[in-house]
Amino acid sequence: MRGIDAIRRSLGLGAAEQELVYAAGPSLLPHIEAWVDAFYTRLLVDPVAVRILDDDGRVIRLKRSLRSWFHELLTLPWDRDYERARARVGDAHVHIQMPTDLMVTAMSGMRAEVTGTVRRLWPTEPERTAQVVDVLARALDMELALMLLAFRRRERALARQKDRMVYAQRSARRLAHTVYDRVDAALCYAELVAQDDPRRGEWLARLRDVLRGLARVDQRLRVQAKVNGVPPEQVAVSELCRLALADVSADGDTHLECIVEPPELTARLVAPAARLAIEELAQNSARHARGGTVRVHCTAGSPAGIRIEVTDEGPGWPPEIREFRDIYREGSGLGLSFCELVAELHEGHIELFDAPGGGAGVRLDLIAHGPVPEVGA
């Protein structure tokens, strides 16, 4: 997911623009109270905002927060710590279910108030006024983009949850039908075996086959692409990883690293499922191993597949997860269960291991539906 550095580059907010805001700050700080009052005067005539801000105590707290927000904008460096602070502001907007369109229109009014103040402060310095107005407008755009990231994180979290539930539901439905059919067949053969019939040996052999099939019923979920209707396609693995990691929400001190060997590696995969599995594993690592490196390492598998390893530098696997075996084992976690289902979609498997240095690792082997180039090819 885009962070503050990428947003600043897009808006052209470099060191010089930061210094310009610092220089204007002492003159602008006394006007923060007027900006806050004007902001809430406009906001509280909106019927949607009134319903959200119907508690006087909440309004008082939000006014105090907005004063601090303005002060930080004018005085603090726009770095990773600043981004984390703004993430908390965005999360608060998500919590109170603030409509994003209301945030955009409110920011527009705020920009007009700030611009008017700047023009009144330096009426005889048109060049300086234009520079400060321009930079502050872009800085407010940065603020809006940072807050909207919280809504993107929430959107992705809900999408991951929905997609995992859809896969799990389809898998469970398929499993239920398979189990029902096999149990029904087993009962029929058991009835035939109980009869004095010259074909009793044949019925007994078929009964054994059905019972063995029940013991392996989870393996019957392979090639799930036919069930979910998404066909495999030839994809560039580096692009697949880029898209997956772009939606991972990581702490500012957590580094996401991706290595694809060879860089031009391609595979024929059910792309949405594979992408979501990578995102899920990286997100789990980023959540449980804050401050370290989360590494996604993709290589050509053997004989014709792809191997994805996601490792972190955290505390490692807890005992209750270390014994993870299959998707239906209670307590294995929906994330790992979903990734095992993705492995089954591709006739592969998932494995947990201890990463170097004591962290946790997940190895996902997917059988590619098509040729995978050899390393160095």
pLDDT the model gives residue 74: 92
Question: Helix or strand or coil: residue 2?
Answer: coil
Same domain for 135 and 210, yes or no, is no
In this structure, the answer to whether residues 148 and 29 fall within a common structural domain is yes
Please report which helix (H) or strand (E) contains residue 362, including its range: strand 360-367
In a domain, 227, yes or no: no
Same domain, residue pair 194 and 146: no
Average of per-residue pLDDT values in the chain: 78
Q: How confident is the model at residue 325 (pLDDT cuts 50, 70, 90)?
A: very low
Domain coverage including residue 186: 159-222
Number of domains the chain contains = 3
334 and 198 part of one domain: no
Whether residue 213 sits in one domain with residue 177? yes
Q: Per-residue pLDDT tens for 29-64?
A: 999 999 988 888 877 777 767 776 666 777 788 788
Cβ-proximal residues to 347 (8 Å cutoff; 6+ apart), any chain? 222, 223, 367
Same domain, 189 and 278: no
Checking if the pLDDT of 292 tops 90, the result is: no
CATH number for 271: 3.30.565.10
- 3-class DSSP string for 216-278: CHHHHHCCCHHHHCCCCEEEEHHHHHHHHHHCCCCCCCCEEEEEEECCCCEEEECHHHHHHHH
Helix, coil or strand: residue 5:
helix
Q: Which of 222, 246, 266 is the last residue of a domain?
A: 222
Domain edge (last residue) among 135, 157, 179: 157
Do 346 and 215 share a structural domain? no
The answer to the question of residue 375 being in a domain is no
Domain termination residue (choose one: 128, 157, 186): 157
Whether residues 150 and 195 share a domain: the answer is no
Nearest to 188, CA basis, from 213, 212, 176, 206: 206
Distance CA 342, CA 264 (A): 23
In a domain, 284, yes or no: yes
61 in a structural domain = yes
Same domain, 211 and 262: no
In this structure, the answer to whether residues 177 and 291 fall within a common structural domain is no
pLDDT tens sequence across 131-142: 999 999 999 999
Does residue 15 share a domain with residue 137?
A: yes
DSSP letter at 357?
A: T
For the entire predicted model, the pTM comes to 0.48
- For residues 95-110, average pLDDT: 79
Nearest in space to 324 (alpha carbons), one of 285, 377, 361: 361
Please check whether residues 8 and 148 belong to one and the same domain. yes
